[in-house]
Structure 1
Amino acid sequence: MSDPGARSFSFLINPLSGGGAAPAAVVPVARIMRDAGASVEVTYSPGPRATLDIVEAAVERGDVVVSVGGDGMLSSIAGQVSTLGGTLGIVPAGRGNDFARMLGLPTDPEGLARILLEGTARPIDLLSLRTGEAEPRVVAGSVYCGVDAIAGEIVDKVRWLPRKLQYPYAAVHSLATYKPIGVHVTVDGEAHDFRAATVVVANSKYYGSGMKIAPGAEVDDGLLDVIVIEAASRRGLLQSLPTVYDGAHVDRTEVHVMRGRSVTLSGTPSAPMGGDGEPLGHLPASRDGAARVDILAGALDLLLPS
């Protein structure tokens, strides 16, 4: 590996990611990098506020900040790394790892270490979600409301299941019990109304541990992909679920695909919202107070294969 001394690294680990798998995942990667001569500091995430302080100090030192965990961990620090002008690396160690899947990152320690040591920092897009008066929330992969957000809540309650079964179980259970929402969507000011099962505003193709929900999405095209799946019978949605894994669902008549740079969402009845596996409150009912998602084009420098 060439010139490992040119970079220093601050690894931030979410110890709960992947059902506790993250700490073990980082050990071989860090060992390979240290053996190559790189400076590697490993810190367990001590909580949101303290983690942001650690990120700030790492960027000030000129370290590459490395997210060790799942999509939620990545999103929790990507915005601050971007704001501070730092560079981010990824060691995927969560349950879904959908953003790493989108980037085509390897899973073996040698491959991950090589990217961190020799990869190129390339600009990628992020999403900014604003609801009400709260500070905007930065998300890497996607923001969604409806059955997928319900599925995310279920995943957090079934950690006793094997990891490979958690998302499929949650998807089936949420579809079997969902209630349609009347959602008002604007994409770059163009308004649409749907009776929907779910709405996804995506930067990444993947969510839900491998579902190819937005097959046309790219992380560097400066656009949001908006996927609306209209409400159908529970049986019909369950039967169509397998098509989401290869992206074929977008050819179905009840699925609508739109693209733009700014999206607003509102609707009733109340439905949960989520982003990269984390709960983000509930869909606003009022159009005047609609949730707004904007693309942050080229916002984050991320280490990727050269």
Structure 2
Amino acid sequence: FSRMFGLNSDLSTICRLLTDPRPYRCDLVLTTYTNWQGDPEKRLLINEADVGLGCETVFRVNRNSKALGGFASFLLAFLVTMIVYRNLELVIKVDDETIYDGKTGVIVVGNGGYFGGGVKVAPDAKIDDGLLEIILAKDLKKMDLVLNLTNMYKGTHLKHPQVERMIGRKVEILSKDDIRFEMDGETPGHGSSMLFEIMPDAITLLL
């Protein structure tokens, strides 16, 4: 997430954040879903959410040790998950309009642009523009994923013909099956529908 603001963990950056933080207004995303207890729940996210391969990778990362660090842990989990993953049948609605109905490798709803140890998944996302960045990877083959892994880290994967970028203020993901989703590095619930709504200018960060 800090990559969105050009921040790093060197000593000079840490000292500046402690002594001279700068206010930055940004958006949040209201998420509506079913939690693991089967109850409807709402939660705010600041960075991104996804359904599909990315979610299953995060689920695997969170169940295992991260001793290798964020980048290596995510990459290893991604490669293992890819072997067993099967694309999902999803209906995607953006601003109440159905824009896709079919097999889906992954769909990302981004307020921020990065996830998973540095994957530049939504390279055009801006955290203060009042819009959601939607990245839809359709019925991708596993070899496509392997060949485009470097592109995903560089943010150049949008050139792939099976990858589509959209923007909107509300995104609904529907499935005939019970599926889980990921938001900000956690997997808080599951179900057959998830709703994401932008909340513009919702919070001040000190950066």
Fold similarity call, TM over 0.5: yes
Q: Match of 1:17? A: none
Counterpart among 146, 155, 159 of residue 251 in structure 1: 159
Counterpart code for 1:120: R
Distance 1:254 1:221 in 2: 26
Distance 1:107 1:113 in 2: 10
Identity among equivalent positions (%) equals: 28
Counterpart among 217, 236, 259 of residue 125 in structure 2: 217
Task: State the 1:160 CA deviation.
Answer: 5.9
Residues 271 and 105 of structure 1: is their aligned pair in 2 closer, same or farther, counting only changes over 3 Å?
A: same
Determine which structure has more spread, i.e. the larger CA radius of gyration: 1
Counterpart code for 1:136: K
Counterpart among 7, 10, 15 of residue 113 in structure 1: 15
Q: Which has the larger helix fraction? A: 1
Distance 2:167 2:88 in 1: 21
With structure 1 as the length reference, what TM-score do the two structures score?
A: 0.62
With structure 2 as the length reference, what TM-score do the two structures score?
A: 0.91
Q: Which has the larger strand fraction? A: 2
2:100 is the counterpart of 1:100: no
Counterpart among 33, 38, 41 of residue 135 in structure 1: 41
Unaligned runs of 5+ in 2: none
1:182-228: per-residue Cα shift (whole Å, max 9, x none)? 11111112212131011110011100110010011011011000111
* Structure 1 residues 162-201: aligned runs within 5 Å: 162-163=68-69, 164-192=71-99, 193-201=101-109
Task: State the 1:111 CA deviation.
Answer: 1.6
Q: Match of 2:59? A: 153
Q: Match of 1:232? A: 140
Number of residues of Structure 1 aligned to a counterpart in Structure 2: 201
Residues 184 and 296 of structure 1: is their aligned pair in 2 closer, same or farther, counting only changes over 3 Å?
A: same
Distance 1:175 1:237 in 2: 8
User: Is residue 105–residue 112 contact of structure 1 (8 Å, CA) maintained in 2?
Assistant: no
Spell out structure 1 runs of 4+ moving beyond 3 A: none
Residues 160 and 249 of structure 1: is their aligned pair in 2 closer, same or farther, counting only changes over 3 Å?
A: closer
Distance 2:157 2:66 in 1: 30
Higher RCO (CA-CA < 8 Å; seq separation 6+): 2
Counterpart code for 1:167: F
User: Is residue 181–residue 268 contact of structure 1 (8 Å, CA) maintained in 2?
Assistant: no
Task: State the 1:161 CA deviation.
Answer: 4.5
Task: State the 1:283 CA deviation.
Answer: 4.3
Task: State the 1:146 CA deviation.
Answer: 0.7
Residues 160 and 227 of structure 1: is their aligned pair in 2 closer, same or farther, counting only changes over 3 Å?
A: closer
User: Is residue 176–residue 238 contact of structure 1 (8 Å, CA) maintained in 2?
Assistant: no
User: Is residue 146–residue 181 contact of structure 1 (8 Å, CA) maintained in 2?
Assistant: yes
Task: State the 1:113 CA deviation.
Answer: 2.8
Unaligned runs of 5+ in 1: 1-98, 285-289
CA RMSD in angstroms, aligned pairs only: 1.6
Task: State the 1:266 CA deviation.
Answer: 0.9
